[in-house]
Copies of this chain bind each other. A is one copy, B any other.
Amino acid sequence: MYSNDLIRGTLRTIILKLLSEQDSMYGYEMTQLVRERTKDKIVITEGALYPLLHQLEAEGVVTTESVSIGKRVRKYYKLTKPGKKVAREKVSEFDEFLHTMQILLDLKPI
């Protein structure tokens, strides 16, 4: 698990990337997928995730659909058409940013 300040600022990018791959996802699923892929090195907290998802919805980046699974409800999130563009731009901006940071910090490429 990385210290918090590293992860700070990356959450939006991560979520948009996942949604641009998976077509449709619910919150809990996102937290688990990130844990899996990063071997618990990046853990998304719910207190950060849900407010962000609501914000994305308010911005029109995603739409939601609630689906009943037994007696529980899952809320699926899906990128809107403009949301897809936002996601592409955000990920590509982050990509560029990583390059810049590698140069700035004189880190070896992978």
Chain A residues packing against B (C-beta within 8 Å): 2-3, 5-10, 12-14, 17, 21, 34, 37-38, 41-42, 91, 93-107, 109-110
Contacts and interface: CB of A to CB of B under 8 A. Distances in A.
Given A98-B98, A109-B109, A109-B110, A104 B6 contact: no
Given A8-B9, A9-B9, A109-B110, A38 B103 contact: yes
Give the copy number. 2
A41 to B, nearest CB: 5
A108 B7 CA distance: 20
A51 B8 CA distance: 19
Given A109-B109, A109-B110, A110-B99, A42 B104 contact: yes
